[in-house]
Chains A and B, each alone.
Chain A
Amino acid sequence: MALAVLGFVAGLVPLVLALATEGGHQRELIAITGPVIGWAFIGTGVYAWARQPDNRLGALMTAVGFSSCLAGLRVSTEPWVFIVGLLFITSQWALLFHMLLAFPRGVVETGFERLLVAAMYFSSVVVHPVMTLFHDTTRQGFPENPLLIGDGTDLSDLTRVRFWFTLGLLVALTVILAQRWSAQRGAPRKALAPVFVSGGLVMALLGVWYAALLAGVGQDVIDGLEDARYVVLATVPFAFLAGLIRTRVAEASAVSQVVARLGDPALRRRGVCHAMDEALRGTSLEIAYRDEDGTYANCAGDRVDIPPADPRRDAVSLEAGGEPVAVLTHDATREDERELVRTVAAAATLALENERLADELRAKVEELSASRARIVESGDATRRRLERDLHDGAQQRLVSLALSLRILSNRLDGNTEAMRELESARTELDHAMDELRELARGIHPSLLSDRGLDAAVESLAHRAPLPVELELSPGDRLPERVESASYFVVSEALTNVAKYARATHASVNVTRDNGRVLVEVSDDGVGGADPGNGTGLRGLLDRVSSLGGSLEVDSRPGSGTTVRAEIPCE
């Protein structure tokens, strides 16, 4: 509060001084922008400082405000007051430079950036005041310099060096800000926009101003550039406020991004880590995953101490299925993030739990698919065994019986009545054998095992009671279960054609393509078949799906029926 009152008074100083001083240096500019810049920076700075005591940005902004007010003293014609203003004229730029590199977390992250900030402070707070001692201000029509200790005309080269040096620092700053800007997407980028645009523009105008001084362009241009810089500087605190508000929006958006990304099945836990890290950038929140040995690691795979070694950081455990799977660490001193931590933790827990359930469901589905495939396979094995038993047992006995009847008929030479009886018995036996053979074929077509799909399908077409056009693409033998499924699709479909379709013509098409078999049986009959009705097609669907394939029936009334199966054969 005291700081705010002091700031208000400080903002009045350049205004009052400018109004009171006829012919002061940059009088109009200071009268207008001086209090605006001072109050705006100090006001927003004090507010931000109170809200996030740990974030140095608030303090930096307040410092820029006071520094700007002090620099406004140069409007005075009193030599001592004037010279204080002149000494402070560069410090606000160094503070703004620092602020931009520290935005939004208040920390200058890399060693190189810290070096740049230090260099900027050195140039503005050390070199500039020292050189002021040699600056004969009266030459430019300014009030006299009471600190003057020597003639500085020989030092003009040194001044140029300082300008070049500062210009270099400003170029480096621009490059870094541009890189940061392009590394961000979406909401975090929007949060950076106002601060980077206004602050960056001030720094760019400062750079151009130094360049103009070095190039020796006209005083009008130089003054214009300076005026423009101060006007834009006045917008920086408001941009900062907008940035803060947008950071809140970005944080809210981070939560929804966390949820969305955790829910994305394409991103497994480790993949999600990077996505979450990105979503949480700009906040103090970090996620660490629990490894099998109970330790925690961040996205980069570096070990993270839980509980955190830094006493200011807190950890929230994230559980799925009652088991800890991750922790969310955060800066416990940041009051403003409490809500965010709670929300992200709840969202992440929900998403992790969801992921666990999805995993469980996936495992169950896989287990069910495998057991269904096993049931179909064991059914097929039983069918093969039954067919083999019929063939080796009953069929062979009937054959032997037929041969015995034949021997008997040879011995009954002449007895015509007995011969007739025998002939009738033979005919019955032939029927019995035919029926048994059909029964066996229905249980399992031995032809399929012996000679493969094409031969078995040809045999089906051959025995169908209507003309069947065949289109087969010969190839190597397929896995037994694929051959069986394909065969039964054709067999069942042709049976249905014969029973219900009232068709005059059918066609069977079996093609192999990219590791799958496509079976298509169509007819020109009455259509209207309902795959949900009757066990035949449903049985086929089960059989085909157990192999990861699909079956569809297209049967509009009046336009024939097409049964189409696609079976992977890897």
Chain B
Amino acid sequence: MGTRVLIVDDHAGFRAHARRLLECEGYNVVGEAADCAEALEAAGQLSPDFALVDVYLPGEDGFALTNRLQALGAAPAVVLTSSRAESDLAECVEESSACGFVPKSALSRETIEEVLP
């Protein structure tokens, strides 16, 4: 089986498309979450290899979620994503403990593997 992925985004439409794309490109999408609490619960239960996390989540944002995921026992790697300009977020991404950032529209196996360790 392929790399286990958890998709975290409050837009159900994006989650569905991302799941189809990632599965099509050989990933094993083990779960989806719409907010921080759901993501933490799913990560604890499903032990994904990495989480694709939208920066703008309702309540706590993607950066906060990244920090909280890192505190888990078997912490998944975090790839941040957003439809906003990468240049606006570059600094925050760098300061966070996420592996990197992939724009939503450029999501693909290559771009993800580029940022994953």
Contact = CB atoms under 8 A, between A and B. Distances in A.
Interface of A: 391-392, 395-400, 402-404, 406-407, 410-411, 429-430, 433, 437, 441, 446-447, 450-451, 455, 459, 462-463
B105 interface: yes
A396 B88 contact: no
Contacts of B84: 391, 437, 446
B87 A462 contact: yes
A459 B87 contact: yes
Most B C-beta atoms less than 10 A away, residue of A395, A403, A450, A451: A403
B88 to A, nearest CB: 5
A473 B18 CA distance: 41
A161 to B, nearest CB: 99
B73 interface: no
Given A447-B88, A459-B88, A396 B13 contact: yes
Interface string B65-105: 00000000000000000011101100110000000000011
B89 to A, nearest CB: 8
Contacts of B107: 402-403, 406
A184 B84 CA distance: 75
Given A396-B14, A399-B14, A433 B88 contact: no
Label chain B's interface by main secondary structure: helix
Nearest to A403: B17
Contacts of A462: 87
Contact of B17 (A404, A411, A451): A404
Nearest to B56: A450
Contacts of A397: 13
Contact of B83 (A395, A407, A451): A395
A461 to B, nearest CB: 12
A403 B108 CA distance: 9
B24 A407 contact: yes
Contact of A398 (B11, B21, B105): B105
B28 to A, nearest CB: 16
Nearest to A410: B24
B87 A463 contact: yes
A399 B107 CA distance: 9
A433 B85 CA distance: 10
Contacts of B106: 402
Given A396-B83, A400-B13, A433 B92 contact: no
B22 to A, nearest CB: 10
A399 B87 contact: no
B85 A437 contact: yes
The winner among A398, A404, A437, A450 for most chain B CB atoms within 10 A is: A450
A403 B87 contact: no
B13 A406 contact: no
A400 B11 CA distance: 11
Nearest to A409: B108
Contacts of B87: 459, 462-463
B85 A399 contact: no
A402 B102 CA distance: 14
Contacts of A463: 87
B78 to A, nearest CB: 19
A415 to B, nearest CB: 16
A251 B20 CA distance: 97
Contacts of A446: 84, 88
Given A402-B106, A407-B17, A407-B21, 12 more contacts: A391-B83, A391-B84, A396-B14, A396-B83, A402-B104, A403-B21, A410-B24, A430-B105, A441-B85, A447-B88, A451-B92, A459-B87
B114 interface: no
Nearest to B61: A450
Interface in B47-70: 56
B38 interface: no
Q: 6 tightest CB-CB pairs across the interface, nearest first?
A: A402-B105, A403-B17, A399-B104, A400-B17, A447-B88, A403-B21
Contacts of B104: 399, 402-403
Contacts of B13: 396-397, 400
A410 B25 contact: yes
Contacts of A410: 24-25
Interface string B1-26: 00000000001011001101100110
B95 to A, nearest CB: 11
Contacts of A459: 87-88
Contact of A433 (B18, B21, B105): B105
24 contacts: A392-B11, A395-B83, A396-B13, A396-B14, A396-B83, A398-B105, A399-B83, A399-B104, A400-B13, A403-B14, A403-B20, A407-B20, A407-B21, A410-B25, A429-B105, A437-B83, A437-B84, A441-B85, A446-B84, A447-B88, A455-B88, A455-B91, A459-B88, A462-B87
B21 A406 contact: yes
Nearest to A440: B84
Contacts of A402: 104-107
A376 B116 CA distance: 45
Nearest to B55: A450
B76 to A, nearest CB: 22
Contacts of B17: 399-400, 403-404, 407
A537 to B, nearest CB: 26
Q: Which interface residue of B88, B91, B92 has the most chain A CB atoms within 10 A? A: B88
Contacts of A455: 88, 91
